[in-house]
Amino acid sequence: MILNRKNKKRDKLLADFGSIKSDSFDFELIENYFQKKDQSNTFQVLSYKTCNDLDFEELFMFIDRTNSKIGQQFLYNQLRTIPLNDEKTIDHEKLIDEFSNNQNFRVSVQEQLSKLSDRDSYYISSLFQDEHLKAPKWLFAARLLAFTSVFSLIMLFFNPKMVFIIFGVFLINIIIHYTNKKNLYQYVSSLPQLLRLNSVAKNLFKNEKLRGINPNLPISIKIIDKVRNRMTFFRMESKLQPDTGVMLWIFFEFIKILFLLEPLFLFNVLKQLDTKRKEIADLFKYVGQIDSLISVASLRNGLENFCLPEVTTEQKIIVAEEIYHPLIPDCIKNNIRVNNKSILLTGSNMSGKTSFIRTIGINLITGLSLNTCFAKQFSAPRMKLYSAIRISDDLMNDRSYYFEEVLTIKEMIDKSENGVPNLFLLDEIFKGTNTVERISAGKAVLSALRKSDNIVFVSTHDIELADLLKDEYELYHFSEKVDHKTVDFDYKLKDGKLKNRNAIRILQINDYPENIIEEAIEISKDLDKYRVAKVL
């Protein structure tokens, strides 16, 4: 029976490799490790604004193929942070290749990692990231009462009247025991899982292929082993619940109350673990790193096309060949080369401008964080990423769309002078204001943002903006074909600015009244004549 269950699990691991997870995602718990981690040694932490602009949660759900909750938290943090360098990339790639090509090795590792797939494993990070509860003042009294219970039980053999003392102490202990329950509940999930983490890390380290991730891990394992016996109590606590056997649970609860085992064990273990944060973090990182590498191997295995990026030292140069958006089914692939200029895209709504901008941003993130790009070739310098794609009114603070846009772009201007290369992604700059000021302010801002080693990708409907920036920006466009009753988009990136305008034609094929169409055409002709006259 057990062998059959193991075979089924192994078959599932083999079948799922390269596939998207069907699990639910609790981002509040997944983010927990990331939110509390010290990020001072990273190149950049992606903002929630940029993550929202690039559909980060959907991207993570597509990329995540981890087997443990620890690996999931580690991968999330990895994807949200751009590292300072590629120090361990070569070693990691060797392991990814091993996981991809040696399925017996991979499955044996996955079987170990899956032991940490329980939801309670999300709470392990709290043991080295959160402040622990301090021992309450009544703990001394608890020790005294526990000693009194032991002494009274011994003396009961010599003096039957000691039963009254035991009964009185038991009544006091009930109050302390259940008062302490709220303290225990904070750790009843994480402490048993720490024991499991230690065991999994120990088993993984036995494989010489995995020792290079942290050669000093046995030191951390040994230190956690020293408090293993005391933590075993909490493993029993998590398993022994009323539904496991009422009589057994009542007996165990009686013993815990009589000797006040819960508060005494809890605060003793917390005191010791408080000095072992680094060791717990080492175990967490070791297991998380292994799981994230398997996840990358699985991701690549499920892709039709991917590449390893080239992180260059040449500034203001990005090369992308057959690049695509991983979340768009059957996405059209495009090529682009950025060389000292920035990129301005024109085109109608739904033609592909914004998706292409997101494609560039996503590939920069996955390239720098996971060494994986959704393209045939992708090269770029190490850059910080900022975006202004999704902007909405802030009704809580009584701020309009335009004001929110102004604040977002002002932050970009400040970042543009931070002394490092930046990639700025903007969709329809200043669309919250009138045409004249939108074009004027847009030109000035876009000229400023592209200075130094910065690269800008921006979309616009304003052809005038393309004319004003043609010396500073390479011009590209997306277009559609409008037939008698249909609008077809090919989503192919084309050189130059958009020359054809189809907005009124699209109104026409959607059966707008003829008088509206005729008036719109006449007004557009007059506006074109006015613009030509202004230029002359």
Which pLDDT value is given to residue 530?
Answer: 54
- Of 111, 93, 115, 117, the closest CA to residue 296 belongs to 93
Distance (Å) of CA 305 to CA 299, 300, 380: 11, 8, 19
Torsion sign, CA atoms 276, 278, 282, 288: positive
User: Which of 271-275, 329-333, 526-530 is the most confident on average?
Assistant: 329-333
- Mean pLDDT for 200-207 is 96
Give the residue carrying structure tokens 């990691």.
92
Amino acid at 476: Y
Residue predicted with more confidence, 222 or 508: 222
- Mean pLDDT for 177-189 is 84
- Of 362, 440, 449, 438, the closest CA to residue 411 belongs to 449
- Mean pLDDT for 203-214 is 95
Contact predicate 475/444, CB 8 Å: no
Which pLDDT value is given to residue 395?
Answer: 46
364 half-sphere exposure, CB direction, 13 A CA radius: 31
Which pLDDT value is given to residue 379?
Answer: 97
Please provide residue 217's backbone torsions phi and psi, each rounded to the nearest 5 degrees: -60, -35
Q: Could you give the residue ranges of the DSSP H alpha helices within 56-137?
A: 56-63, 69-80, 89-101, 103-113, 126-129
- Mean pLDDT for 227-233 is 73
Amino acid at 441: A
pLDDT single digits (tens) 362-399 = 999 999 999 999 999 999 999 999 999 987 655 445 45
Which pLDDT value is given to residue 535?
Answer: 40
Run of H or E residues at 228:
helix 228-239
User: Cα(262)–Cα(181) distance, rounded to whole angstroms?
Assistant: 8
